[in-house]
Amino acid sequence: MKPFTYERAATPADAAASAARTPGARFIGGGTNLLDLMKLQIETPPHLIDVGHLKLDRIEDTPEGGLRIGAHVTNTALASDARVRRDYGVVSRAIVAGASGQLRNKATTAGNLLQRTRCPYFYDTNQPCNKRKPGSGCGAIGGYSRQLAVIGTSDACIATYPGDMAVAMRVLDATVETVSPGGAKRAIPIADFHRLPGSTPHIETTLVPGEVITAVTLPKPIGGTQMYLKVRDRASYAFALVSVAAVIQRDGSGRVAVGGIAHKPWRVEAAEADMPRGAKAVAARLLAGAKPTQDNAFKIPLVERTLAAALAEAKAA
């Protein structure tokens, strides 16, 4: 870890302004991802701005009938909130499928959205990695890529976005609210929030430098059977090989987003029209153009089969 300076911001606008003043500064939420990366010198921010004291730790009803989740609401608080469990079960289930109780107590909503990839080459500073060190090459391509992406990849990077919560938020069409260094507020649809790697895998979201997340809003509840199926090698405490967030209505229509297969939560709205026809049809459209490696080609049938499990579960519900 490199020495760094630390400040506690008083308002989101102050936090954003401060970040704009210090190139390379980072916000710190629970620190469960950022501090690990700093210890390994994968991230080396000279300055940390603590966003834990901005009074962004409330979950409120919105006038539109949805929910506004403060950026600093912990994963535990969010997953156990009665309204979330009742109306947005997929979010609650996705969160508790991730990490561990201790980590969820510390992890925040904004930090969770922004957690970085678990590509093992990203984690080893001896290895080439375009995401960690732009232009150094990609160690994973041609290497060990079992966990990595099968779709939306580029010649520069095949990493996945590893998180669970964001996959559920994607299926619910959440919106990310921010404040920019100039003080301007914006609301970014979650579909546009995470980016594909392209030739700039180190740029992972559409946030501009210094932009601070203040909340995530969920639209009015959409009902249905809400599921989060997370497939992994061990029963708990592991990142998804593939995860499926699904909301299935009684008439067989529904929505699906997939985790563990791309640089962002993967959803193809057009594919959902095929939901009543079953998992095979949906998966075929969802995964059109996929380019798996030899190590991770299994994710293609796995997505279909996991979606089939979700549809069967919904039918039985």
Residues that bind ligand SF4 (CB under 6 A): 117, 119, 121-122, 129-131, 138-140, 148, 157-159, 201
Binding letters toward ligand FAD, positions 49-88, x by CB under 6 A: --x-------------------x-----------------
- Convert residues 212-241 into a mask of x (bound to other proteins by CB under 8 A) and - (unbound): -----------------x-xxxxxxxxx-x
Task: Identify which of 162, 154, 160 has the alpha carbon closest to the alpha carbon of residue 289.
Answer: 154
**Residues 37 to 96: which contact other proteins by CB under 8 A?**
39-41
* Pick 193 or 228: Cβ nearer other proteins: 228
Q: What does 17 bind: ligand FAD, other proteins, ligand SF4, none (CB cut-off 5 to 8 Å by kind)? A: none
3-state secondary structure of 247: strand
- Select 201 or 260, whichever has its Cβ closest to ligand SF4: 201
Strand ranges inside the chain, DSSP E: 5-8, 26-28, 47-50, 59-61, 67-70, 175-179, 185-189, 212-218, 225-231, 242-248, 254-259
- Select the residue interacting with ligand FAD from 18, 112, 145, 225 (CB under 6 A): 112
Nearest to 174 by CA among 238, 247, 283, 106: 247
Yes or no: say if 307 and 260 are a contact pair by the CB < 8 Å rule. no
Contact residue for ligand FAD among 9, 13, 18, 30 (CB under 6 A): 30
SS3 7: strand
For 287, which DSSP code?
Answer: T
- CA distances, 65 to each of 55, 60, 62, 222 (Å): 22, 10, 5, 11
Beta-sheet pairing, 26-28 with 47-50: parallel
Q: Which does 171 bind (CB under 5 to 8 A by kind): ligand SF4, other proteins, ligand FAD, none?
A: none
Among 13, 17, 29, 90, binds ligand FAD (CB under 6 A): 29
Closest CA to 48 of 58, 37, 60, 57: 37
Contact assessment for residue 90 and residue 245, using Cβ atoms and an 8 Å cutoff:
yes
| Least distance in angstroms from the C-beta of 130 to ligand SF4 | 4
The nearest distance, CB 30 to ligand FAD, in angstroms, is 3
By CB under 8 A, name the binding residues for other proteins: 1-3, 39-41, 118, 120-121, 123-127, 139, 142-144, 146, 229, 231-239, 241, 278-279, 298, 301-302, 305-306, 308-309, 311-312
Binding site for ligand FAD (CB under 6 A): 26-34, 36, 51, 71, 98-99, 103, 106-108, 110-112, 114-115, 163-165, 212-213, 239
